[in-house]
Structure 1
Amino acid sequence: MTDKASRNAFAFGIPATIAFIIPLGLVVVSLWALWSVTTNDLATEQAGGRPLLSHLIDDIYLRRALTFTLTQATLSAILSTLLAIPLARALATRSFPGRSAILSFFGAPFILPVIVAILGLLSIWGNKGPVQAIMSAFGFENFSIYGLWGILIAHVFFNLPLATRILLQGWLALPAEQWRLASQLGMNSASIARYIEWPMLKERLPGILALVFLLCTTSFTVILALGGGPRATTIELAIYQAIRFDFDMERAALLAFLQIILCAGLALVSRVASTDFDTGQSLGGAVLRTDRNGRLAQWSDGAIIMVAVAFLGMPLLSAFIRGIWGLGLHGIDWGQILPAALRSTGVSLASCLVMLLISLPLAQLSIHIEGKARRFVELPGYAIMVAPPIALGAGLFILLHQHVSVDDLALPLTALLNGLQAVPFALILLTPAMAQIKRNYGMQLRHLGIKRRDAIRIIHWPLMRKPLGLSLGIAAALSIGDLGVIALFGSPSAPTLPLYLYQQLGAYRMDQAYGTGVLLTSIAFAFFVLFDKGLGGRDQT
């Protein structure tokens, strides 16, 4: 190997090594801190004390937290997935004006700040909302969005679009030849469902259920806003309460361990359950479904799509209208809003930088690894799925609070954990794009001896800017609207914009909260568009 090649390999190895070590190092350090607290507490058993492990088993509140975590996640996953099946089939079957706009709209809950979406759900399903008025008219006066019902509604709101998009890809991947053959054979809907649709569904449904279940076990903001009572507390919320309210580090450590074990098992199940469905070869062509040409089928598909759009759109529209009304009524408190917005912006940009520093080297390294070793290389990028931010943050809090003021490190720690949270999404987008560039242009670049800087300018940047812009847009939107990590580390006197909004909710300043929600959504959407469309440019054709 020449000196120049050695320098290039060494330069490439440093970023990849750092990107590989940092996520795993944070997880190991956090686990060590949690383990240290746990073992110190269990050592009190020898001195005649009662170990916290037995206290955890005997504590009714903690048992309820575990039971409620599993119950609400199970129900949310089942509801979201079952409702997505007819919706995805209707969208796959029907072609109508505005279909692409509806599919794009289904991505809104993903980049929308969670706390703002909850505001919208409160305006529709809350005590003074239209749904409550209708249910009261029919005698259901005891319905409340706070508790299990509200958590299920919020989880379906966030996860129904995701499950629908995954299932829609499954329907669209079915070869057109199968539909033409079904038409020629005169198969009815029951036969098509059994022999064509069900084989695809049984391959995809377990993975979707596991994925949504994992997302619902780590939905801290939803539980914080709509749950929180003794009967509606999850493990993550119990961790938050143990640290922020009780300052009980031993209980927080054991709960964080429990959450990590649970998420690790769910991530493994999700990985095993997610299999690729082999649809076979296809020559393409139009999809012809003569079994659903009847007027009843057309009306039912249209009704399903309209109900889904209304379910997702009405809370967003209501939150926007009430936010504009709140801004017009109370104005903008620049003394509070501007510093909070600047903190959120700084955290968001720092999170994007963390995401890039981790995901780019890992993606670049993984495309040069063959076989099963590639999964090992990408493992650090998905570490945040095994150790979710609240559990990871609990370990860092326990490690740091005796040595430094955690309030002073609140924003850097939030940016770090939010950036790691965006890495899995970035790897999904960046790795295939890099692999395609290597496959299509790698050999030519080596034969022509083009310098790395010129190759980046001529080949890599034009082809990578779209997935890179989308990755940055997702990271920025997720981070700027995050409430989970900053709620654990942040100081009430120096909040980010989501934390300030939550403080307004806690003080029952609803009009101001809706106004802040409009500003927060506008900033998140502006960052997403700036990166996705500004940096990413137009779609490559």
Structure 2
Amino acid sequence: MIRQANHKAFANGIPALFAFLAPLTLVVASIGALWSMAAPTLGETSSVGSALSSLFSDVYVMRAVRFTLMQAALSAILSALLAIPLARALATRNFPGKAAILSLFGAPFILPVIVAILGLLAIWGKNGPMHTLATGIGISGFSIYGLPGILLAHVFFNLPLATRILLQGWLAIPAEQWRLAAQLGMSSKAIARHIEWPMLKERLPGVLAIIFLLCATSFTVVLALGGGPKATTIELAIYQAIRYDFDLERAALLACLQIILCAGLAVISRLITQDHDTGESLGGAIHRSDRTSRASRWVDWSVIILALAFLAMPLMAAFLRGVNGLIMNPFDAAALLPAALRSIAVAMGACLVMGLISLPLAQLSIHLKGKTRRLVELPGFAIMVAPPIALGAGLFILLHQHIPIDRLALPLTSLLNGLQAVPFALILLTPAMGQIKRDYGKQIQQLGMNSKTAIRLVHWPLMRKPIGLSLGITAALSIGDLGVIALFGSPTAPTLPLYLYQQMGAYHMDQAYGSGLILTLVAFAFFLIFDKGLAGRDKN
């Protein structure tokens, strides 16, 4: 009996061991390949300090570093500053359709990045209404390309994220504090100082760090709207070094720098991100006696309407121009359908990778305690440290001399997209598994259920929703991903995002909008198939 139990425990531990070691091994192997390739450029020095000194003396590298940090910092600051009044307005005002607006705030996360850029071009581009309006009131010289367009796109993607985080902060403030403020007759300034600022002081650093990290590793936005000598980030420089110059030493040098930068940002983000403890609450809706005046209502509604227009107009423009593009220029089925099938194949592979890594890690996490439990975070941290472009550059260096990269383009893209989704999946899966263990663990043991029975009767019904959402997010992000496939893919066998980008590069904008609409429909369809198809039947 003891041998059988030990054998069973060992067998159950194999998937978790694989899920823990596989991402770490891949990251370490990729970083090792990058360092080996970069060593000649760094003077084959064994000193990390000397290597970094040599690295930062490169003018081209420093230009990319400065622009990466500058655009990421500005994007984070703008997104956070604009999110503060928006989150406060949404927390204060109740109105019909509020849930729909909050759902709209999740659309930029699922929407393919390249399609969102098409929408921004339709509104803010040279022929867009905002450019026409700016010209009409005497503001000339605005261009969506370069730093202004990159900031605009990053705010579009990250304003909803910052708003949702800060909105949760406002809603977490106990209703008793608002009642006490009303009874004491506190002014708006006093409330901001004694109630709102303590919450913001704890949440804003985390918001800024998360958005900074996202923007520092943003590839598609900079590829589409930047790319000039003055608007090149480290990731774009890696792509250009491999695809255009085939300068693997420079690509490795830049990738090493990107990993160092991401490691530092990930550590800082981890250290300064914390929960806001607001104390006990008896519940109740937020009622603010200081924001009942007509002026305050006007300000809040203006903020909500402007934010809604900023987010909705590009989405509507991309949709309408996509419909018009398909009507005026029917798509080339011989080219578009194979591209769509490649994107779907990549997404299914990414979902498989995500599931094989995330589910065993989440299961392992709930059986560990204290500091030991943090070991499970190592694969996710390693993936954050080595973003897809840098990790892809390492894999390119490892494999290009042995296997034609074009043959591995789709499997490698699936692998990297699936790994990129692991941190998001763990956030969804680990709490759900932990709750099942707390609520039903003892009953499962007392009833003597075997693993298959427990999964069928308990785990699957309760895990269906988080698993479906994890798969939906992974599929949607992978279908719309342009970063990894741009590095590995062949122009003659593109995925749907790469096919769309090729149309944009050829200035076939009507066709690009039509392809963008199809790409969006495919991404949202697979998101709904997984999310609603699995979770929709959940009666709990």
TM-score band, normalised by the shorter chain? over 0.9
What percent of counterpart residues are identical?
A: 71
Distance 1:10 1:167, change over 3 A: same
- Is the 8 Å Cα contact of residues 91 and 286 (structure 2) preserved in structure 1? no
For residues 311-460 of structure 1, what are the structure 2 equivalents within 5 Å?
Answer: 311-460=310-459
Alpha-carbon separation, structure 1, partners of 2:381 and 2:44: 36
Amino acid aligned to 1:3: R
Question: Structure 1 residue 450: deviation in Å?
Answer: 1.3
Alpha-carbon separation, structure 2, partners of 1:257 and 1:345: 31
Distance 1:52 1:501, change over 3 A: farther
- Is the 8 Å Cα contact of residues 120 and 318 (structure 1) preserved in structure 2? yes
Question: Structure 1 residue 361: deviation in Å?
Answer: 0.2
In structure 2, what is the equivalent of residue 294 of structure 1? 293
In structure 1, what is the equivalent of residue 248 of structure 2? 249
Question: Structure 1 residue 348: deviation in Å?
Answer: 0.2
In structure 2, what is the equivalent of residue 95 of structure 1? 94
Secondary structure of residue in 2 paired with 1:77: helix
- Is the 8 Å Cα contact of residues 151 and 222 (structure 1) preserved in structure 2? yes
1:133 aligned onto 2:132: yes
Alpha-carbon separation, structure 2, partners of 1:312 and 1:117: 10
Question: Structure 1 residue 55: deviation in Å?
Answer: 7.0
Alpha-carbon separation, structure 2, partners of 1:45 and 1:175: 57
In structure 2, what is the equivalent of residue 183 of structure 1? 182
Alpha-carbon separation, structure 2, partners of 1:266 and 1:228: 23
Question: Structure 1 residue 54: deviation in Å?
Answer: 7.3
Alpha-carbon separation, structure 1, partners of 2:466 and 2:53: 49
- Is the 8 Å Cα contact of residues 461 and 538 (structure 2) preserved in structure 1? no
In structure 2, what is the equivalent of residue 240 of structure 1? 239
In structure 1, what is the equivalent of residue 522 of structure 2? 523
- Is the 8 Å Cα contact of residues 42 and 55 (structure 2) preserved in structure 1? no
Question: Structure 1 residue 331: deviation in Å?
Answer: 0.6
- Is the 8 Å Cα contact of residues 367 and 431 (structure 1) preserved in structure 2? yes
Alpha-carbon separation, structure 1, partners of 2:63 and 2:33: 26
Secondary structure of residue in 2 paired with 1:228: coil
For residues 188-337 of structure 1, what are the structure 2 equivalents within 5 Å?
Answer: 188-337=187-336
Amino acid aligned to 2:97: G
- Is the 8 Å Cα contact of residues 382 and 423 (structure 1) preserved in structure 2? no
Secondary structure of residue in 2 paired with 1:181: helix
Alpha-carbon separation, structure 2, partners of 1:261 and 1:162: 25
> Per-residue displacement from partner, 1:506-528 (whole Å, max 9, x unpaired)?
00000000000000000000000
In structure 2, what is the equivalent of residue 473 of structure 1? 472
TM-score (norm 1): 0.97
In structure 2, what is the equivalent of residue 25 of structure 1? 25
Alpha-carbon separation, structure 1, partners of 2:91 and 2:424: 25
Alpha-carbon separation, structure 1, partners of 2:246 and 2:14: 40
Secondary structure of residue in 1 paired with 2:39: helix
Question: Structure 1 residue 37: deviation in Å?
Answer: 1.0
- Is the 8 Å Cα contact of residues 220 and 236 (structure 1) preserved in structure 2? yes
Question: Structure 1 residue 58: deviation in Å?
Answer: 4.2
In structure 2, what is the equivalent of residue 5 of structure 1? 5
In structure 2, what is the equivalent of residue 114 of structure 1? 113
Amino acid aligned to 1:83: L
Distance 1:89 1:449, change over 3 A: same
In structure 2, what is the equivalent of residue 532 of structure 1? 531
In structure 1, what is the equivalent of residue 34 of structure 2? 34
Greater Cα offset, 531-540 or 122-131:
531-540
Secondary structure of residue in 1 paired with 2:345: helix
Secondary structure of residue in 2 paired with 1:187: coil
Question: Structure 1 residue 284: deviation in Å?
Answer: 1.2
- Is the 8 Å Cα contact of residues 19 and 357 (structure 1) preserved in structure 2? yes
Alpha-carbon separation, structure 2, partners of 1:379 and 1:168: 29
Question: Structure 1 residue 538: deviation in Å?
Answer: 5.0
> Per-residue displacement from partner, 1:402-429 (whole Å, max 9, x unpaired)?
1110111000000000000100000000
In structure 2, what is the equivalent of residue 462 of structure 1? 461
> Per-residue displacement from partner, 1:174-222 (whole Å, max 9, x unpaired)?
1111111111111111111111111110000000000000000011000
Amino acid aligned to 1:329: M
Distance 1:42 1:64, change over 3 A: closer
Alpha-carbon separation, structure 2, partners of 1:500 and 1:362: 35
In structure 2, what is the equivalent of residue 123 of structure 1? 122
Amino acid aligned to 1:442: G
> Per-residue displacement from partner, 1:247-282 (whole Å, max 9, x unpaired)?
111111110000000001001111111111111111
Alpha-carbon separation, structure 2, partners of 1:193 and 1:120: 36
Greater Cα offset, 51-60 or 474-483:
51-60
Secondary structure of residue in 2 paired with 1:394: helix
Alpha-carbon separation, structure 1, partners of 2:312 and 2:384: 29
- Is the 8 Å Cα contact of residues 363 and 378 (structure 1) preserved in structure 2? no
- Is the 8 Å Cα contact of residues 214 and 267 (structure 1) preserved in structure 2? yes
Amino acid aligned to 2:33: A
Greater Cα offset, 255-264 or 33-42:
33-42
In structure 1, what is the equivalent of residue 166 of structure 2? 167
In structure 2, what is the equivalent of residue 145 of structure 1? 144
- Is the 8 Å Cα contact of residues 252 and 394 (structure 2) preserved in structure 1? yes
Question: Structure 1 residue 5: deviation in Å?
Answer: 1.9
Alpha-carbon separation, structure 2, partners of 1:45 and 1:309: 53
Question: Structure 1 residue 60: deviation in Å?
Answer: 2.8
Amino acid aligned to 2:248: M
- Is the 8 Å Cα contact of residues 466 and 535 (structure 1) preserved in structure 2? yes
Alpha-carbon separation, structure 2, partners of 1:323 and 1:298: 37
Question: Structure 1 residue 39: deviation in Å?
Answer: 2.2
1:16 aligned onto 2:16: yes
- Is the 8 Å Cα contact of residues 176 and 285 (structure 1) preserved in structure 2? yes
Tell me how large the CA RMSD over aligned residues is. Answer: 1.5
Alpha-carbon separation, structure 2, partners of 1:313 and 1:116: 13
Amino acid aligned to 2:525: A
Alpha-carbon separation, structure 2, partners of 1:319 and 1:27: 37
Corresponding residue pairs, total: 537
> Per-residue displacement from partner, 1:360-389 (whole Å, max 9, x unpaired)?
000000110000111112211332111000
Alpha-carbon separation, structure 2, partners of 1:226 and 1:70: 17
1:483 aligned onto 2:482: yes
Alpha-carbon separation, structure 2, partners of 1:208 and 1:397: 33
Secondary structure of residue in 2 paired with 1:372: helix
- Is the 8 Å Cα contact of residues 85 and 167 (structure 1) preserved in structure 2? yes
Alpha-carbon separation, structure 2, partners of 1:370 and 1:304: 44
- Is the 8 Å Cα contact of residues 41 and 52 (structure 1) preserved in structure 2? no
Question: Structure 1 residue 539: deviation in Å?
Answer: 6.1
- Is the 8 Å Cα contact of residues 203 and 276 (structure 2) preserved in structure 1? yes
Amino acid aligned to 1:497: L
- Is the 8 Å Cα contact of residues 52 and 250 (structure 1) preserved in structure 2? no
Alpha-carbon separation, structure 1, partners of 2:107 and 2:205: 25
Distance 1:464 1:44, change over 3 A: closer
- Is the 8 Å Cα contact of residues 78 and 209 (structure 1) preserved in structure 2? yes
Alpha-carbon separation, structure 1, partners of 2:195 and 2:37: 54
Unaligned 5+ residue runs, structure 2?
none
Amino acid aligned to 2:59: I
Question: Structure 1 residue 44: deviation in Å?
Answer: 6.9
Question: Structure 1 residue 285: deviation in Å?
Answer: 2.0
Alpha-carbon separation, structure 1, partners of 2:116 and 2:142: 20
- Is the 8 Å Cα contact of residues 125 and 143 (structure 2) preserved in structure 1? yes
Greater Cα offset, 13-22 or 446-455:
446-455
